[in-house]
């Protein structure tokens, strides 16, 4: 996993929990989807933190769900 600043870590947790809430699943499952089944955490959420964290929760969740579908970790 990529080295993260405390702010990026907090945002990553926010994203994981927001996705878990939206999908009605556990944070552990979402973490696995973003790290083990894809590279979304290390190659999208963390590098794009500066832009992503300025968006609202609904926008971030929609964006990440779309990317998860594109990457094949969500059907």
pTM: 0.94
Instruction: Using DSSP, state whether 59 is helix, strand or coil.
Output: helix
Phi-psi sector, 59: left (phi>0), alpha (psi -120 to 50), beta: alpha
Q: What is the spatial distance between Cα 44 and Cα 9, in angstroms, rounded to a whole number?
A: 13
**Secondary element (H or E) of residue 70:** helix 57-70
- Report pLDDT digits (tens) over 3-47: 899 999 999 999 999 999 999 999 999 999 999 999 999 999 999
- Report pLDDT digits (tens) over 52-72: 999 999 999 999 999 999 999
Write the DSSP string, 23-41.
HTS-HHHHHHHHHTS-SHI
Asked if residue 24 lies in contact with residue 69, where contact means CB atoms within 8 angstroms, the answer is no
């Amino acid at each position: 996993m990529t080295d993260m600043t405390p702010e990026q870590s907090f945002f990553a947790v926010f994203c994981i929990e927001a996705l878990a809430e939206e999908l009605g699943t556990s944070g552990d499952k979402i973490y696995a989807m973003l790290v083990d089944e894809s590279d979304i955490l290390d190659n999208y959420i963390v590098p794009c933190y500066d832009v992503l964290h300025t968006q609202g929760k609904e926008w971030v969740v929609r964006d990440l769900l779309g990317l998860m579908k594109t990457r094949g970790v969500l059907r």
